[in-house]
Structure 1
Amino acid sequence: MPQSFNYERAASALVDAIFMGDKAAAEKWGVSTRSIEGWRSRLNEDARLAGLFQQKKKAREKTWASEIPETIQLGLKFIQDATKEANPADPDAIKAIADAMKVLMEIDLTKQILDARMAEMVDIH
């Protein structure tokens, strides 16, 4: 007798795939990356899976993503203030500000990647 489709598992694994990548999500859920890919394809055809996926994605975003904008704003303000007050002749200050800028650019790139992955997973029209 074939096993019935586990919507909870598929939706949870798809959300994890957004944040962890397909390989790590597949390992976590004990499935192949091919299963993840198949479930992702099914999102556009299966309203129940798509709805559950959206619910789980929103719940995940609330747990951490909701705090990111304010934290980024505070960090940006701190870096702006430090940049204004830093001695441009101090090599340590220059390095600290350059390192902070590198982190900011990495955060921006990560956001762009996550946005692209989410757009690929669900047909946004």
Structure 2
Amino acid sequence: MQIGHVIAQLRTEKGISQKKLAEELHVSPGLVGMWETNKRLPSIDCLISLIDYFKISADVLLDGERKIKPSEYSSLKPAIDSDEKKLLDTFYQLDIDGKDILIGEAKKLLRGQRSEEKRRINTLQNAQ
């Protein structure tokens, strides 16, 4: 279950509206709606507020959010080395914005690596 669905379920069980939850957390009702439809993820501060407000542990909100659990990494490919595992562990702990940033940075690194490889090939070809 995605985090937004968990928030909606907790709110419904408590018998309060999105507006009331928003007031309690000092955010806009629209933001609560976006959380519940998984269009936005709560910030760390809002996650803490949700945990405190509903008197739940963090795993209640976060456990369903992971697509692949760390114990399932080995099924991704036949052999995963420790560096790849560290990268995946870090990636799965990031919020959606952090994941987007990490993917963007990885793409920049890859473009730079490919440009460098092309430059080396051109230098070798010109030397011949």
Larger radius of gyration: 2
Q: Does TM-score exceed 0.5, indicating one fold? A: no
Structure scoring higher RCO (CA < 8 A, sep ≥ 6) equals 1
Q: From the two aligned structures, give the one with the greater helix fraction.
A: 1
